[in-house]
Amino acid sequence: MSGEPLLEVKNISTSFFSHLGEIQAVRGVSFYLNRGDVLGIVGESGSGKSVTALSIMGLIEKPGKIKQGEIIFNGEDLMKKSQREMCELRGNEISMIFQDPMTSLNPVYRIENQMVEVIRYHNRNLSRKKAVAQAVEMLRLVKIPEPEKQIKSYPHEFSGGMRQRVMIATALSSNPGLLIADEPTTALDVTIQAQILDLMNDLRARINASIILITHDLGVIAEVCSRIIVMYGGTIMEAGNERDIFYNPQNPYTVGLHQSIPSNLAISEKRLVPIRGTPPNLMYPPKGCPFSPRCSYTMRICLEEAAPTIRLSDTHISVCWLLHENAPKINGYSKGKIVDRYKTPSGS
């Protein structure tokens, strides 16, 4: 537990209203992030991680809409801010980098042009020359070789890893308090992945930023994150610190995630078991627990009613009926106290 909260997300729900119906991408998600911390958000594809991040950024676009909730950043509710105020905030105090570095840079402008535009936008007194110098400095920081020369390149002349570095350099150029990294390494190969993660960790320490690291790969976040949220079907399934999630997972979904990835941390000697079935259709989310159709311990109540939030320790909560005191005892799962899910920022 370090520092005071920088970001508090309270019970947000975000939907997309397509012509076929409402896609409830995020349904009542709450969490908070302390200054200087790294928060990991894991979950399968389609579990609502990106939508959560975009909601924080205020970048949900039509036909999407944040239906409810509060997003408190530095003591201010971002939901109440105007579009202009959000522009000031974005790229300045909160930055975000995306999954696919290949498509996230504008193909028709040079790196220099794109970086300088952002730098000067947030620091209008800066001369062009100084902005270029700062951009070069940032590129050097993210370990791009020969930055003075490379800055003149077009994005397509860079490899994926290099582009992601450019993205990070741009995102960090204004010393943001919060960096949201949405699967920054998914599109890269394994060695590059490690380098980028190291780089981010390194930079975080240097500029004292908080990071939200989104990934669908538990292995990626093991070393970097102080706290981890597991998402599924637009809701939080489990939250806790590294020890809780890796050594004492208390949700069948988290356990499933562990078994489906090659990991030397958890149940390493066992065979890999993919979670059977497919993620729920968010247009008609199951009325009970979203994981119930795929769970190995589905009880009747799991199909009928949303699971309660159950506190297991100071740091650890899980959303699962199995931990309810009336549920049958299963090896490896303990019992805890039901708490009000909306009032309790998960993981505190």
Partner 1 sequence: MRNYFFRRFIQSLFTIFLIATVTFFMMRSIPGGPFTRERPVPDEIMRALNAKYNLDAPLIVQYFDYMKSLLTFNLGPSFSRVGVSVNKLIGLGFPATAKIGFLAVLLIILVGIPVGIVSALKQNRPVDYFVMFMATLGVTIPNFVIATLYIYLFAGKLGWVPSFGLRTPWAYIGPILALSGYSLSFVARLTRSSMLEVLRQDYIRTARANGLKELSVIGKHAMRNALIPVITYLGPTIALLMTGSFVIERIFAIPGIGRYFVESVSSRDYTVIMGVTVLYASFYVLMIYLVDVLYAMIDPRIRFDKEIP
Partner 2 sequence: MPSEADYFGFVSKEESQNLETLEKSLTYWQDAWRRLKKHKLAMAGLAGVISTILFAVLGPFFSRFSYSDQILDYARTPPRLDIYEVADDYYVFLTKDYNLLRVSEKGEILERIFDTNKDLERKAYTYFDARRGLEIELDFSYNLLPGKEADYNFTLVANGGDPITEATKTVFNRTYPFGSDSIGRSILVRVMYGARISLIVAFVASLANLLIGAVYGSIAGYEGGRTDILMMRFVDILNSIPLLIYVILIMVLVGNRGLWTMIIALGSVYWVTMARLVRGQVLSLKGQEFVLAARALGVKKRSIISRHLIPNTIGPIIISMTMMIPRAIFTEAFLSFIGLGVSAPMASWGTLTEDALSALLSFPYQLFFPSMAIAITMLSFNFLGDGLRDALDPRLRKG
Ligand X SMILES: Nc1ncnc2c1ncn2[C@@H]1O[C@H](COP(=O)(O)OP(=O)(O)OP(=O)(O)O)[C@@H](O)[C@H]1O
What is the contact surface with partner 1 in residues (CB under 8 A)? 57, 59, 62, 87-92, 95-98, 100, 103-109, 117-118, 121-122, 154, 156, 167, 170-171
Looking at the Cβ atoms of 36 and 286, the one nearer to partner 2 is 286
CB of 293 to partner 2, least distance (A): 4
CB of 278 to ligand X, least distance (A): 11
CB of 47 to ligand X, least distance (A): 4
Q: Which of 9, 29, 51, 306 binds ligand X (CB under 6 A)?
A: 51
Residue 49 contact, options partner 1, ligand X, partner 2, none, Cβ 5-8 Å cut-off depending on partner type? ligand X
Residue length of the chain: 348
Q: Which of 6, 23, 118, 197 binds ligand X (CB under 6 A)?
A: 23
Q: Does 301 bind partner 2 (CB under 8 A)?
A: yes
C-beta separation of 334 from 312 below 8 A: yes
Phi, psi of 101 (to 5 degrees): -65, -20
Per DSSP, the residues of 194-257 read HHHHHHHHHHHHHHT-EEEEEES-HHHHTTT-SEEEEEETTEEEEEEEHHHHHHS--SHHHHHH
Q: Does 338 bind partner 2 (CB under 8 A)?
A: no
CB of 9 to partner 1, least distance (A): 17
Beta bridge partner(s), residue 229: 41, 239
Residues numbered 132 to 161 that lie near ligand X (CB under 6 A) are none
CA distances from 284 to 18, 20, 28, 223, 261 (A): 13, 11, 16, 36, 28
CB of 122 to partner 1, least distance (A): 7
Beta bridge partner(s), residue 339: 309
Question: What's the CA gap between 337 and 340, in Å, rounded?
Answer: 10
Residue 154 contact, options partner 2, Mg ion, partner 1, none, Cβ 5-8 Å cut-off depending on partner type? partner 1
Question: What's the CA gap between 305 and 319, in Å, rounded?
Answer: 12
Chain residues in the site for ligand X (CB under 6 A)? 16, 18, 23, 25, 43, 45-51, 64, 183, 216, 282
Chain residues in the site for partner 2 (CB under 8 A)? 16, 18-20, 23, 277-278, 280-281, 284, 286, 292-293, 295, 297-304, 321, 324, 326-328
